[in-house]
Amino acid sequence: MTFILAVNPGEEAARSGDADMSKAIVMAAIAILVEDGHASVARPESGRPELRFATGEIFHLGEESVTKIA
C-alpha cells in the first residue's frame, strides 16, 4: 500500500494539478470498492451520483466534494 500526503489548499505550494491528482486517487479508490463488491455507484433522478456502501452509508459525489447523506 502506498500512502500519499494530502494537499493543504491553504499552502502556497498547492497547485490546481494537486486537486486533479487527489480527485483521480479518490475515484480510483471508489472504483476498487465497487469492483470488490463493497459499494455501488448509481445516478438517481436527482442526477447527482451516489456512492452506496454495502454497510448502508450513502454519499453524494460532487465535482469537488463528497457529502454523506445517510
What is the rounded CA–CA span in Å between residue 30 and residue 54? 13
Residue 9 has pLDDT above 70, yes or no: no
Digit-coded pLDDT (tens) for 29-67: 999 999 999 999 999 888 889 999 999 999 999 888 899
Give the type of residue at 62.
G
The pLDDT of residue 1 is 42
Burial of 20 (C-beta count, 10 Å sphere; 0-12/13-18/19+): exposed
3-state DSSP helix/strand/coil % of the chain, to nearest 5? 30, 20, 50
Where in the chain are the domains?
38-70
| Helix spans in 1-70 (H) | 16-35
